[in-house]
Structure 1
Amino acid sequence: MEKNTPKIQFKNTDEYISSFPVNVQNILNKLRDIIRESAPDAEEAISYGMPTFKLNGNLVHFAAYKNHIGFYPTPSGITAFEKELFSYKQSKGAVQFPIDKPIPFDIVKQIVEFRVKENKAKAGTKRTSTKVKSNYI
C-alpha cells in the first residue's frame, strides 16, 4: 500500500489477502499457512492494519507492499535469526522479502517456532496478581 492511500479497515485476514493481486495473494496465503502450521494454537487477528497471529500476546504480523512482503516477528525474532536474514532489508523488528524473489518460508517457519517458544516461556513466568480489592477505606 502506498503512503498516500487511505487506510482500509480490514475485518479479517481473508479480507486483507483478497485485496491484493493473485500473485501476492498466493505468497500471503502460503505465509499464513506456514505460520498456522508452526503456531497451531495462535489466534488470527488484524492488528496495526495487518494480519497478526497472537499467542500470549503478539506473535508475528505480516503485510504486503508494492515491492515486498513485510514480516514482523518482533526484535527478538530478527536478532535470533540475524545470520539467516542478513541478505534482506531489516529494521529493529521487521524484515522485507522482495516480492520478485523466492520467500524463505523455511526461515519464516523457524522464526515462528522460536517466537512460540519465547511467548510461551514469557507467559509461564508472568505472575498473577493476588491483590484483593477492599471495600473499606
Structure 2
Amino acid sequence: MGSVTEYLESVTPGNRPILERIVGIARELAPEAEEGVSYGMPALLVDGKGFVSVLETKKHLALYPFSGQILPTMSEELGGYSWSPGTLRFSADNPVPDSMVRRILETRLAAIRS
C-alpha cells in the first residue's frame, strides 16, 4: 500500500470523510507526522514510529493506534464498538466520536514521545 493520502483516495466515497476526519485530527495533534508504512499499512509516523492508521475493510472501518495498551484502558467507553487491544472497529453509521479519537491519539502520541 502507498501513502496515507493515496490510500484515502482509494476508499469508498461514503467512508472516506470519516477516515479523513481521523487523519485530520492526527495531523492536528502531530503536525510533524510523516506519511509512511507501519505493519504493512499506510500510516502516519512520529519519530519513525507508527502513530495511527485507518483502513476500510469489507465489513467495517478500523483505527489502529499501534499499541495494545491504549484501547483496553478505555474499555468502558468502547462498549458500542468492536475492538481488540490493537484495533478499534466501527462503521459509517456508528463513527468514533472526535473526543474519543483525540483521546486515543493523544495517548499514543504521549507514549511515542516518552
Cα distance between partner residues in 2 of 1:85 and 1:51: 24
CA contact (8 A) 2:3 2:43 kept: no
SS of 1:54's equivalent in the other structure is strand
Which protein has the bigger strand share? 2
Q: Within 5 Å, give how 1:1-137 maps onto structure 2.
A: 10-56=1-47, 57-73=49-65, 74-121=67-114
1:83-117, Cα deviation, whole Å (9 max, x unpaired): 22122111121110122223322201111011111
Relative to structure 1, the CA distance from residue 33 to residue 111 in structure 2 (aligned partners, 3 Å threshold; closer, same or farther) is same
Q: Larger radius of gyration, structure 1 or 2?
A: 1
SS class of match (1:116): helix
Equivalent residue letter for 2:60: H
What's the TM-score once normalised by structure 1's chain length?
0.72
Q: Distance in 2 between matches of 1:119 and 1:53?
A: 12
Contact 1:39/1:112 (CA < 8 Å) preserved in 2?
no
Instruction: Using the aligned pairs only, state the percent identity.
Output: 32
Distance across 2 between alignment mates of 1:14 and 1:53: 10
In the aligned structure 2, how far is the partner of 1:72 from the partner of 1:65?
A: 13
Gaps of 5+ in 2: none
- The gaps in structure 1 that reach 5 residues or longer are 1-9, 122-137
For 2:89 and 2:95, the matched residues in 1 are separated by 12
Residues paired across the two proteins, number = 112
Between Structure 1 and Structure 2, the one with more helix by share is 1
Aligned Cα root-mean-square deviation (Å): 1.7
Name the SS of the counterpart of 1:16 in structure 2.
Answer: helix
Moved over 4 A (4+): none
Query: How far did 1:49 drift?
Result: 4.0
Offset, 1:37? 0.8
SS at match of 1:109: helix
